[in-house]
Amino acid sequence: MKEVFSHVYADERGYLTRNLVPGRRVYGEKLIERDGIEYRVWNPYRSKLASALSSGLMDLPFTGTSKVLYLGAATGTTVSHISDIVDSGVVYAVEFAPRSMREFLNVARERPNIVPILADAKDPLSYAPLIEKVDVIYQDIAQVEQADILVRNLPFLRPGGHIMLCIKARSIDVTKDPELVFKKEVATLKPFVDVTETVDISEYEHDHSFIVGIKR
């Protein structure tokens, strides 16, 4: 097993993160022990960030002390791996569906670096008092106006901080060519963000792409 990004490991099983809560699983993932340390196998069919890694993502902008704003936490599959990575940092995790939030709270309760926030990512002022400036904004909300929602949250990102955006082309407009939809979303970001990578993750998630950029 070797460390391929800060706090992210790889072996023949794929990518793994060091379990912040040894002995506990979040979504039925495999647990592996090496030299007394427990790792969680990161499933690329369950987490789009693992899909992006498996599809050749070159820059993973998290370190052990990163502060992250995560929009669209759902039940916490990907948030939990980011929480493993930023073990001395914090993940502010926004989710607007009460049902998902209830399940997510079971994950957040065990992980001291997750701050769960029940709110609509379209209304950043509603959670502004709860968060601080962050190093990374990660967004996976599968909705219309995905890039617009990210832009509304950019005031929380420090200059030079990274954005990571999952684009689901069919959520935006089922009638349009996904390629055109990706281009339009990138164009929405461009006045504010230098796009550094686009990764096609459709091998794992149909019609999905992943965009990485740096705030100017």
Ligand X SMILES: C[S@@+](CC[C@H](N)C(=O)[O-])C[C@H]1O[C@@H](n2cnc3c(N)ncnc32)[C@H](O)[C@@H]1O
Applying CB under 6 A, the residues found at the interface with ligand X are 47-48, 72, 74, 77-78, 94-97, 100, 120-122, 140-143
Least separation in angstroms between residue 139's CB and ligand X is: 8
Q: Are 36 and 29 in contact (CB under 8 A)?
A: no
Shorter beta-carbon distance to ligand X: residue 4 or 144: 144
Q: Assess contact for 42 and 18: CB atoms under 8 A.
A: no
Of all residues in the shown chain, the one whose CB is closest to ligand X is 72
The residue whose two tokens read 């709110």 is 119
Q: Least distance in Å: CB of 172 to ligand X?
A: 13
Q: Which amino acid is at 134?
A: V
Q: How far is the CB of 48 from ligand X (least distance, A)?
A: 6
1 vs 143, beta carbon nearer ligand X: 143
Residue 150 CB partners (closer than 8 Å, separation 6+)? 71, 137, 139, 163, 165, 189
Min separation Cβ 150 and ligand X, Å: 11
Distance CA 69, CA 156 (A): 8
